[in-house]
Amino acid sequence: MRKITGGFLFFGYLFLALTIGATIWRAGLGAGAGAAGALGALGILAGVHAIVTGLADRRALRREIAKVREAHRLLADAMESTQGALTDLAQAIESGALSRTEALTGEVRMLEGLIQQMSESIDERLAASPLTADTYEGRRQVQTNTLLKTVHDALTENRVDLYLQPVVTLPQRRTVFYESFTRLRDPSNRIMMPAEYLSVAEGEGLLPAIDNLLLFRCAQIVRRLAGQDRKVGVFCNISLASLGDDVFFPQFLDFLSQNRDLKDALIFELGQAVFDARGAVEARNMAKLADLGFRFSIDKVQTLDLDFADLQRSDVRFVKVAADLLIEQLLDLDGAAPLPSQPDIRAGDFAPLTRRHGLELIAEKVESEKQVVDILELDVALGQGHLFGEPRAIKEAVLAETDPPVEFVRSTLKSAEKRLRP
């Protein structure tokens, strides 16, 4: 626009100069006088234009400088207020940490007696075992008892870590959920994978204690994320033993009744085989959680030919399927129907079918970009796997803030102690 205006002005000045030159020539002063007059007029007009333009540019520059000064002033004010807020936050964190430490000290003292009783119970059991390492059964029992003591000590000595893995939207890859995992550490701080201890922990009634710690830590992580204005949910694994435990579950339900604000952010997850194996007691307790507004998820899916109506009745809202299984049973079929019970359903219809039943499909164990391409072709909106982020341990400072209240742990440990007594 500025170039167009400059062009119009140039031609206007040229026209005025030629007019003046023509006037002088017609006045009888000759062509030379006319040309000189035209050139002189053009020079005068150009000089006036330069002066006016310079004045306008200087005024504009002064306005820009004033704006920059105002912006600097506002920035300085903002930095000053931010510094004050950070100072207040640091003081609040310091005072909060001190009060939390005092509270935890009291809780630890209250637990010492009960933990000591459990330790003595396990020690008595190990000492009284008639089996020796001379036979296969003896060696196996000794190993089991040793592992049991390691698991027990990890729980009572708080060698329990919380890991989180992101669940992202596709194709944006924005984190909207996390899945939580519990990892125990042995006395040498070696991380014990669930396959090492779950069977022993389940047989000895220690799974509720593990679920107990996971629940409280997930709840605290959810609150911490909400305090940072991060609207994300956390998948929290729960065992069938915990759902059916007549000591653990009432305390579990009471805690959640007092924390209903967590219902939109805390999702309880079971494996498909565990879900299918639930009995009347477990199903009833799941319904009690659903009445409070909590939702469920199933993972470790082995077949896509699911009972969608049963999942919907049981308040399951998420279904996690391994990416390889989705691709194998939906894309690599050579024209066959993916669901024997619904032969009219085609590959691209599976995700919409789950949504029609109130279920959100999540592709888990995603490890390559090629899998992402296939998953997007299937209209899957959520993904989880090492490609988007590996499970990472929560920092110790944060983990220390998520220790459960003493009364909740007390009931769980009492339940475990009863089972451990010969």
d(CA 256, CA 268): 12
pLDDT band for 281, please (50, 70, 90 cuts): very high
User: pLDDT, tens digit, for every residue of 392-414?
Assistant: 888 654 555 445 444 444 445 45
Of 112, 218, 235, 208, nearest in space to 151 by CA: 208
**The pairing of beta strand 382-384 with beta strand 160-169:** antiparallel
Of 302, 210, 295, 223, nearest in space to 259 by CA: 223
d(CA 384, CA 180): 12
Torsion over CA of 337, 343, 346 and 350, rounded to 10 degrees?
Answer: -110
CATH superfamily of 159-409: EAL domain (3.20.20.450)
User: pLDDT, tens digit, for every residue of 28-74?
Assistant: 667 676 677 667 766 776 777 678 777 777 777 677 666 656 655 65
> 177: part of which helix (H) or strand (E)?
strand 175-185
Q: What is the pLDDT of residue 231?
A: 75
Burial 32-50 (b: 16+ CB within 10 A, else e): eebeebbeebbeebeeeee
Whether the full predicted model's pTM is greater than 0.75, yes or no, is no
For 349, which DSSP code? G
